[in-house]
Structure 1
Amino acid sequence: MSSKSINISEEAYERLNSWKKSNDESFTDVIIRVLPQKRNLSEILECLEPIDEETAEEMKKAIDDEDSA
C-alpha cells in the first residue's frame, strides 16, 4: 500500500489522536473508520428505508420542538 505525507496542525493532530481506540490503531485506520465515503444524495437515499406517516410526523414534531427550544 502506498502512502502520502500530510502536514496538520497540533490541534488537528490531537483531535485525530483522540479518536484512536488503542495505541495499535493507525491514523489511517481512524480516518477510514470515522470518515464516510463521499456519496451523492441519490446514493444515500437508496440506503434509507421508507418510514410510515406516523413516524414522519413524530420526527417533524421533534425537529420543530428542537428549533423552538
Structure 2
Amino acid sequence: MINRMESFVIKKLLYSIRRMSTADKRLPFTVANIQTLPAALHSHILDHYNRVLLKAMFLTAFLAFSR
C-alpha cells in the first residue's frame, strides 16, 4: 500500500513540475485591445445603441476582471 501511495505522490509531483515548466502561451488582454474593439464594432454593427452597449460591456468586463 505504501508503494502505491508513494507512486501516486511521485506521479503528481512530476506532473506538476512538467506543468510549471511549460510557458503560458496566452497573451494578456491589454488597453490596446480595448481600443481596437470599438473600431471593429463600428464596421460590423450599424446600430449606434448596440455599439455603445457593447463598448460599455467590454470596458466593464476589462476593468472588473483586472483587479
Q: TM-score, normalised by structure 2?
A: 0.28
Structure with bigger helix share is: 2
Structure number with larger C-alpha Rg: 2
